[in-house]
Amino acid sequence: MASLILMPALSPTMTEGTLARWLKAAGEAVSAGDVIAEIETDKATMEVEAVDEGVIGKTLVTEGTQNIAVNTPIAVLLAEGEDAAAADTVVRSADPTAGASVAIETSADPGIVEAPEVAQAENDRDWGETSEITVRQALRDAMAAELRRDEDVFLIGEEVAQYQGAYKVSQGLLDEFGEKRVIDTPITEHGFTGMAVGAALTGLKPIVEFMTMNFSLQAVDHIINSAAKTLYMSGGQMGCPIVFRGPNGAAARVGAQHSQCFASWFAHIPGLKVVAPWSAADAKGLLRAAIRDPNPVIVLENEILYGQKFPCPVDEDFILPIGRAKIEREGTDVTLVAFSIMVGVALEAAALLAEEGISAEVINLRSIRPLDTETIVRSVKKTNRIVSVEEGWPVAGIGAEICTVAVEQAFDWLDAPPARVCGLDLPMPYAANLEKLALPKPEWVVDAVRKQLRD
């Protein structure tokens, strides 16, 4: 049957073009792939190829015609054995209003689609007896427990096996689980992260250790484009159960390239979860949850905390939910929101404020994405003031998000503008005195609270 050749769209944005030249004339035979015409747009000259075989029955626009809309018939293609009369028939029968274009129904304001609620807060379960362990031990115990529990879990990274971990976090794991499941890699973050993500797409559950999170930038394409998005792009077929973990933020005197917080970088990405433990219990409970989670989870650890001791439940089943904050200290005058090592700074600030008769509530976020906004908002409605405390840079940081949550969801309860305490907006200096000046300390938090109470 004769068919119409339509003005093609040759780029995602093309709406019309000029028919510059016919390369086939009426009566000429064409096969699929033959170039039949040249089209010019404002960007380029492109060739129109025949998509089927046949004979050109008739051309419908002359060379040089400008502003031909996409999908306008430009020629008639006759099938084998048809004569030219068929060309007129098909042109007449073509309904100009129907055409071949599709009216893609534009969705209404996407704002009307409600995002699902996350992180319903509930009371922490009491896990009973605790013992004092370091954060390092807690992380190691969490990995050991999950490696024991699930054959599909393995640990991969630089120096995780024979060296026992660059920061000794994976101590003893090679001995217990062997080199099949505790795997040393060459210094090749892009490669081994991609490899681990590929393995996770098949259902294995890798724990990828970055010697420090600074090196995750070498692999960030796989974290964002491969791990976080594949579930969505595959229409839910292919999840990526993987953990990316390592020390994050400033250590001590290691300079600009090794002292930065990635919480805000990763928290920006839909498809990722991000947790940042402070205490040993946080570390153990959140890492276990991260390993069991069927999604990619970033675990932001902190080198300075590795050696600090905290009480941690001894219960073998101890685990914490991702997406839930913990109130570390209750108060009535101001809410201090912090994560990772800054929880300690916020608690010190709360103690200083108490000496002045100011009662501060301290929230340990534990989870950055999803963010437990309910706990934050409930606290703000009680204290009427909020100060976020983070080690990272201020611009587009986690503090900006927390302050926005307070303004959006508790505006009428606020007695002062929300405030941020952040690391200074500069690359980390090496000199001991300068480094000290660049990082948040309890006094900064106290000053921010005093200002809120004064103004």
Query: Which residue among 138, 197, 213, 287 contacts other proteins (CB under 8 A)?
Result: 197
Residue 361 buriedness (CB in 10 A; 0-12 / 13-18 / 19+): buried
**Residue closest to 124 by CA, chosen among 438, 443, 375:** 375
Give whichever of 115 and 431 is closer to other proteins, judged by the CB atom.
Answer: 115
Note the helical H segments in 318-441: 342-355, 373-383, 398-410, 432-438
| Residue whose structure tokens are 């200083």 | 352
Task: Report 109-148 residues binding other proteins (CB under 8 A).
Answer: 110, 113, 115-116
Sort 186 into a burial class: Cβ within 10 Å, 0-12 / 13-18 / 19+: exposed
Choose which of 68, 133, 155, 200 interacts with other proteins (CB under 8 A).
200
Shortest Cβ distance from residue 376 to other proteins (Å)?
A: 21
Secondary structure letter of residue 154 according to DSSP: E
Q: How far is the CB of 13 from other proteins (least distance, A)?
A: 8
Compute φ and ψ for 226, nearest 5 degrees. Answer: -95, -50
Under the binding rule (CB under 8 A), the answer on residue 202 touching other proteins is yes
Closest distance of CB 52 from other proteins, Å: 7
Name residue, tokens 């129907």.
98
Question: Closer CB to other proteins, residue 94 or residue 354?
Answer: 94
Mark residues 3-42: x for contact with other proteins by CB under 8 A, - for none: ---x-xxxxx-x-----------------xx-x-------
Give residues 143-172 in contact with other proteins (rule: CB under 8 A). 154
Closest approach, Cβ 368 to other proteins, in A, equals 15
Instruction: Tell me the closest approach of the beta carbon of residue 369 to other proteins, in angstroms.
Output: 10
Give the interface segment with other proteins, choosing from 140-148, 269-277, 401-409, 417-425 (CB under 8 A): 269-277
Question: What does the DSSP assignment read for 250-316?
Answer: --SS--GGG----HHHHHT-TT-EEE---SHHHHHHHHHHHHH-SS-EEEEE-TTTTT-EEEEE--T
Nearest approach in angstroms of CB 3 to other proteins is 10
Q: Is 238 in the site for other proteins (CB under 8 A)?
A: yes
Residue 99 carries which DSSP code? -
Site string for other proteins, 293-332 (x = CB under 8 A): xxx--------------------------x----------
Residue 372 vs 391, nearer CB to other proteins: 372
Residue 236 within binding range of other proteins, rule CB under 8 A: yes
User: Which active-site residues does the annotation give?
Assistant: 189, 258
Token code pair at residue 444:
């900064």
Q: How far apart are alpha carbons 116 and 188 in whole angstroms?
A: 38
Judge residue 369's burial from the number of C-beta atoms within 10 Å of its C-beta, 0-12 exposed, 13-18 middle, 19 or more buried: buried
Stretch of 217-225, 277-285, 404-412, 423-431 lying at the interface with other proteins (CB under 8 A): 217-225
180 binds other proteins, rule: CB under 8 A: yes
Of the candidate residues 28, 47, 315, 408, the single one contacting other proteins (CB under 8 A): 47
Check whether the bond before 296 is cis (ω within 30° of 0): no
Nearer to other proteins, 77 or 350 (CB): 77
Closest approach of other proteins to the CB of residue 95, in Å: 15
CA atoms of 33 and 222, how far apart (whole Å):
37
- Residue 98 lies near other proteins (rule: CB under 8 A): no
Burial of 375 (0-12, 13-18, 19+ CB in 10 A): buried
Among 232, 307, 314, 396, binds other proteins (CB under 8 A): 232
Task: Compose the 48-87 pattern: x for residues touching other proteins by CB under 8 A, - for all others.
Answer: xx-xx-----------------xx----------------
By CB under 8 A, the residues from 405 to 424 that bind other proteins are none
C-alpha distance from residue 316 to each of 127, 160, 319 (Å): 10, 24, 9
Residues 1, 25, 29, 233: which binds other proteins (CB under 8 A)? 233
User: How many other C-beta atoms lie within 10 A of the C-beta of residue 438?
Assistant: 16
